[in-house]
Amino acid sequence: MTLTDDITRSAARIRERASQRGPRVAIVLGSGWQGVTAQVDEATTIHYAELPAFPVVGVAGHAGQLVLGRLGGTEVAVLAGRQHTYEDGHADAMKGALRTLAALGVVTLVQTNAAGSLDPAMGTGSLMLINDHLNLPQRTPLHGEPGSSRFVDLRDAYDPALRATAHGVARAMGQTLHEGVYAWQLGPQFETPAEIRMLRLLGADAVGMSTVPETILARHAGLKVLALSLITNLAAGLDAEPLSHAQTLAAAQAASDRAVRLLEALAAALA
C-alpha cells in the first residue's frame, strides 16, 4: 500500500464513523493541551490505530486519538497527539494525518505545543503565539515530493490574519498572549545553556521539539496555520530548576485550564 492508498482508506474510515462531520478546522494538541478533548461536544473518537495514514504515538501526554465534534460551536477535527521526529528520525510522521484531513475539507490547522522560554519575562504558564520559526535541524518532511509545489513559500507560514484573530480573542478574555519566534530543536535531549545563548542571539523566543514539520506539511497542502506555545519552563541556563519531561508535563497541566479556555474561544472565532 502507498501513502496515497492509506490516506484514501483513512478518509473513508472517518466518513464511515462520522459522516455527519464536516470539519474545516483541525487542531493538533501538544503537551498540556489534552484537556481540549473534554470540551468537544457531540464527540466521535477514532484511535489512530484504526487509520492507516496516522502515526503511532509513543510519548507520554499524547493520546493518539482523532476526536471529531464541535468546539466553541465550530466543527473541528482534534488530533490528540503527534509523533515527533525524535521518535524515529523521520520528519514526515504527520504527513498522512494532515493530508487525510485536507482531503476531508479542512482548511485551517491550529497547532499547540509545550515550549521552553528564552525570555525571563515570559515565564512558566505563559502563552505565546508563534509568528515565525527557526528550523535548526534543517530537516524537511518534503523529501521525495515531486514537482514545483515542494518549494513551499514560508514567508507567512503562520497566517497574519489568524494571528490577529487570536490576539483579539485573548484581549476579550483578559489574557496575556505573547508573540514570538519558535526554534525547533530535534531532541529528545534538552538544550545546553550554550545552545540557548546561541538561540537567543539568533532571535528565538521559545524552543521546542515539534510543530515545524507539521507547519511545512500544512503549508504544502494549502492549509492556513496558527500555532500556540504553552511555556512550561525557562530554558537551560536561565533557571536553576532541572529539566525533564515529567517537569514539562506537570507545568503544562498546571496551566492547562487557561490554555484550553483560550483555544475553545479561538475555535469559536474561527467558525
Catalytic residues: 31, 62, 84, 86-87, 114, 209-210, 233, 245
SS3 19: coil
Bond preceding residue 242 cis, omega within 30 of 0: no
Pick the closest to residue 39 from 270, 255, 263 (CA basis): 263
Take residue 8 and report the three cell numbers written for it: 484514501
Give the pairing type, strands 206-208 and 108-117.
antiparallel
Residue 84 Cα distances to 102, 151, 156, 168, 265, angstroms = 20, 23, 23, 31, 27
Q: Which residues contact 145 (CB under 8 A, 6 or more apart)?
A: 220
Q: Are 110 and 228 in contact (CB under 8 A)?
A: yes
Pick the closest to residue 233 from 207, 211, 260, 195 (CA basis): 207
Q: Which residues contact 55 (CB under 8 A, 6 or more apart)?
A: 48, 82, 83, 93, 94, 96, 97
As beta bridge partners, residue 114 has 230
